[in-house]
Every structure is written in C-alpha cells, then in structure tokens.
A and B are shown apart, each in its own frame.
Chain A
Amino acid sequence: MGERFRAIWPPILIAVLFLAAWQLLVVVQDIKPYLLPSPSLIAGNFFSDLHLMWAAALYTGTTALLGLMFGTLLGILAALLAQRFIVINNLITPLAAGLAAVPIIALTPILNNMFNITSRTPRVLVTMIIVFFPMFVNITRGLIQVQPVQLELMRSMNANPRTVLRILRVPNAIPFFYTGLKIAAPLAVIAALVAEYFGGPQEGLGSRIASAAANTAYGRAWAYVVASILVGLLFYLVVIAVERWTTPWTGHNRST
C-alpha cells in the first residue's frame, strides 16, 4: 500500500501542477483558443460531445485493432518461418532493419488506389504493415536467442527440432512478443489515425480533428485529441495487463 502510494503520487502531483499552470497561463495571458484552448474548455467540449468522441474513437480504434491483429499474426507466421528457414530470415531481417527509418505510412496513397478508398481496407493494410516489422523482429529474436546450454539440454534429452520449438523456443519468445506488442500497439493507433489524412471515410478521429480545426471549433478539435490519447493509452494498458496475466514467470525482470 505504502509502496504503491509512493509510486503514484509524484506523477499525479506533476499532472495536477501541469494542468493548473496551463489553465492559469491561458486565463491570465488571455491566449486565444486557436493557439491553445484551456483545459476547462477542452474538458467541456469532451463531455458535451461525448457521443461524437465515442463514435470517432470506435472507428479509429477498430481500424487500429484490425491492423494490429493481422500484423501480429503475420509477424508470428513470418518469425516461425524465419526460425525454420534461414533463407527467409536472411531476406526479411535486413529489410526490417532498413525500413526502421522509413515512413511506411507513405504507402497509404498507393493502397488507397489499389483498394477501395471508401472502405476501411487500405487503412487496415497500412497499419498491418507498420505493425508487422516490430512484431517480426522481436518474435524472431525470441525464437532464436535461446541459451546454448538450454539447447544442449534439449539435445541431451533427445528432443527433435519440433519439440525444441514447442518446449523451448516458443515460451522463450513470449516476453519478446510482448516487447514487440508494446511498441506495435501505440504505433497501430498512430497509423490508423494518420492514414485518415490521406482521404477516404470521414468518421475517424484523424478526420474529425482536421475538420473541427478547419471549422475553427478548436475546443472540439482538442477534445478529439484527448480522445485519441485515451485510445492510445487504452491499447498500451491492455497489452500490459494481458502480459502480466499471461506471463507470471517474467515478474522478476519485466521492463516497462
């Protein structure tokens, strides 16, 4: 209890101080909403248009979730193949390293042309590609980086490669899987949101922020930003919760 309290109060204090300073700055300096609306104005817009927030968050969240799921599945599959066939590993790994600094989101207009731009499909696909790489890299690392002594042990127990995969490599890769997921989940939300700036259906958070800003409804635009932040946090926290729940053995050295 005391320990938990000690961990919680500094961030809460800093958050309260930050919001108070923001509010004070806006009121005292009379800053116009187009520059920076006050926290109270944003909060007012957020709660009065809660149903709009919810609908937009649901749309973008669904895109992100679908992209995250497909990208993760693809990452798992490719990592298993890369572990089994070194050719595939050799093909994908330098590609994944090279693409680290490449704004993959730039593929969206191409996907918009190939797939139906009025559907969610191109957005899900670009999210999927963005999710794929961190998932692939981390899962592959987990499957391959097992301790040599553990491999020797498996061999001394006459285990075949399939058994080694099931008993040793896959469990070994699970913490790596979550490391990848913790990177990929927030990326999925960002990708789903930014993909909306390339045109297409106007239901999502990205489109709503842009149109609210264009209509000089700055309070509402910022409220949508708050909704985006909440969706991003939700994705991250769900990953953390699932990780704690499914990997009790990593409690001694889990990283945030």
Chain B
Amino acid sequence: MTEHVAVPPVTAERPRRQGNVARRVRRGTVGLLWALAGIALTILMWELVKWLGSAISLPFNTSDTAMPHVWTMAGGFTQPEVRGSDTTVFQAVVAAAAYSLLIALGGFVIGVGIGLILAIVMQRFAFMERGLLPFVIASQTVPLIALAPLITGIGSRLSLGPVQWNTTYSVMFIAAYLAFFPMSVGALRGLKAPTATALELMRSYAATPRAILWKLRFPASLPYLVPAMKVSAAAAVVGTVVAEISTGVRGGIGRLIIEYARETTSQPAKVYVAVFGAIALGLVAASLVTALDVYLTRNLPKEGPA
C-alpha cells in the first residue's frame, strides 16, 4: 500500500527550512535519475518489440526501415548529411535546432510581452477584461496553426515600409501567438493576487495606481508569472517546430524532420536523429526557463501558488 500524502506530525517541531535552491537541485537530480531509468526502459522495450515483430506478426511495421535498431540510430549521428558532404547529420541537426531555438526565443519574448500588456490592461479596466478575456480563452481553443500554410503564401509579397517580410517572421508570429495565452491568463491572475488588506494598506498611503502596480501587484504576481512563463516557453518551442512543419520554412528543425522523413528508405536513422534534436531542443528550452525560475523564486517561501 502506498500513501503519497504523509500526514505531518502535527505537534512536532517543523524541520528548519531548507534553502529553496538546494532543495530543488536535489529533487531535480532525483527526477533526472528516474528519467534516465525511463529512457533505458524505453530502449529495452523498443528492441523487445522489434524482436517480437520478427518472431510473430504485429499490427505494425517493425522492419529495420520503420524501426531501426537503437545502434543504427546512434550510427546515424555521424553519417554525412548528404553523400560526400563534410557536415554530419548531427551537425546539421544541431544547427537547425539552434536556429529554431532562436526563433522560439523571439516568439517567447514577443508573446510574453503581449501577454503582460494584455494582463495589465485587463486588470486596469474591467470593461476590457469582460470584452477581451473570452477571446483570450477562446484563442487557445483555436487551431490558429491552420493558418500556417497561408502565411507561407504571403512570403515575399509583403513588406512593412522598408522591412521586407520574411517567412521566418511568420513562424515567430505563430510561436508568439501560442506563447501569449498562458502569460496573459497567469499574469492577470497574479496581478489580482494581492489581498484586499494589502490593497487597502496601499490606499491608506495614498499610493497612485502606478505605484500599486509596481510596489504591490508585480511582486505579488511573481509566483504566478514564473509558472506562466514556463508554460509560455514550452508553447513557443512547440509552436516554432509545428509552424516550421506547417509552413515548410527552411533552416529549422521542423523542416529538417520533414526532409529526413522522406529519406527513410535509404537512410532510416536520419529522421530519428532529427526527432532527437527536436526533443533536445525542448529539453534545453525547459532547462533555460527552469534556471530562470530558480533564480527568480529563490527568495520565495515555497513553489508558486497551489
């Protein structure tokens, strides 16, 4: 029997508070070890399924083209990208993933900025909240990504003044669109987090709305902003890759996956290396935001709001 929620000894003295950072690093390490165990288990299962597929008939294709051996995938890293070229598949994937990460970062910054502005506007003006919030929420249910192929069509035919529209901007735009939602909702909740008492205290000091925003609402919203930022960053990365896939814009990991997927019959390992690149891209982005999170919340008593 497993009871995950231990009942704390009510009357016993609580242990001295550990450093927030130290505790999280330790927990992260334990999580990492378990994740590695999970990966090892996945590899084992993969080979097991392949072996099973060679013995009996399974409802899917377990041939070496569809499901290459794990060591074939490993070999794929060092293959030349195209016959006779100097760059390996691994180098090409790293370059593409780095490019996508940069676009995602741009989308993240734009999305978080717009999300914050929307939240401040909605917090300040009740009418805007009533008018905008339903759309902000609806926007998340809308597969705007459906627009992606259309955006490609715009391509070079659009220019904003002297700035020539670049399809890369379209990808960034989609990433920003996916990233803005968690931020605006989280920030709005955070800006509304101060208690009535805290607001009355500020009012008793005759504080201006701007002072209340800077001295009270922003600091109080930190426990909400940070988790929202994490979700936004994840959305920006996913949005970038999905948009690259949908628009076929060159340079990023999304397009690379599509290209390599067409070569599975000749070089089955290539597409796996690209998919691992996409996974690594997600993990790198998540680590960056987690580092930011640990830094921003180092002085908070506990992790975020319940």
B residues 61-93 with Cβ under 8 Å of A?
A: 61-62, 65-67
Q: How far is the CA of A86 from the CA of B6 in the complex (A)?
A: 13
A residues 95-109 with Cβ under 8 Å of B?
A: 95, 97-103, 105-107, 109
Asked if A144 meets B5 with Cβ closer than 8 Å, knowing A102-B279, A109-B258, the reply is yes
Q: Does B7 contact A (CB under 8 A)?
A: yes
- Interface flags for A167-191 (1: CB within 8 Å of B; 0: not) read 0000000000000000001100110
Return chain A residues, CB-CB under 8 Å to B261. 109, 112-113, 198
Q: How far is the CB of B240 from chain A (nearest CB, A)?
A: 8
Q: How far is the CA of A103 from the CA of B286 in the complex (A)?
A: 12
Return chain A residues, CB-CB under 8 Å to B7. 148, 151-152
Q: Does A225 contact B (CB under 8 A)?
A: yes
- Interface pick from A21-29, A47-55, A216-224: A216-224
Q: How far is the CB of B188 from chain A (nearest CB, A)?
A: 11
Q: Does B23 contact A (CB under 8 A)?
A: no
Q: Does A70 contact B (CB under 8 A)?
A: no
Interface centre among A83, A105, A151, A198 (most CB of B within 10 A): A105
Asked if A94 meets B38 with Cβ closer than 8 Å, knowing A206-B146, A228-B146, A235-B141, the reply is yes
Interface size class on chain B is 35 or more
Tally of contact residues, A, Cβ under 8 A: 71
Q: How far is the CA of A112 from the CA of B158 in the complex (A)?
A: 35
- Interface flags for B266-280 (1: CB within 8 Å of A; 0: not) read 001001101100110
Interface centre among A34, A110, A113, A231 (most CB of B within 10 A): A113
| CB closest chain-B residue, reference A91 | B38
Quick check: B275 and A110 within 8 Å, CB to CB?
yes
Asked if A225 meets B60 with Cβ closer than 8 Å, knowing A10-B127, A161-B3, the reply is no
Quick check: B135 and A14 within 8 Å, CB to CB?
yes
Asked if A193 meets B143 with Cβ closer than 8 Å, knowing A95-B35, A107-B275, the reply is yes
Return chain B residues, CB-CB under 8 Å to A218. 150, 153
Return chain B residues, CB-CB under 8 Å to A106. 241, 245, 253-254, 257, 274-275, 278-279
Q: Can you offer 22 A-B residue contacts whose CB atoms are under 8 A? A: A7-B130, A15-B135, A34-B157, A94-B34, A94-B38, A101-B233, A101-B286, A103-B281, A106-B279, A109-B257, A113-B66, A113-B264, A113-B271, A114-B61, A145-B5, A152-B7, A189-B143, A213-B153, A224-B146, A225-B150, A229-B143, A229-B146
Beyond A102-B282, A114-B66, A213-B150, 11 additional contacts (C-beta under 8 Å) are A7-B130, A11-B130, A14-B131, A91-B37, A93-B31, A101-B286, A103-B242, A106-B274, A109-B260, A206-B246, A228-B146
Residues of B within 8 A of A (CB): 1-8, 31-32, 34-35, 37-38, 41, 60-62, 65-67, 127, 130-132, 134-135, 137-138, 140-143, 145-147, 149-150, 152-154, 157-158, 230-231, 233-234, 237-238, 240-242, 245-246, 253-254, 257-258, 260-261, 264, 268, 271-272, 274-275, 278-279, 281-283, 285-286, 289
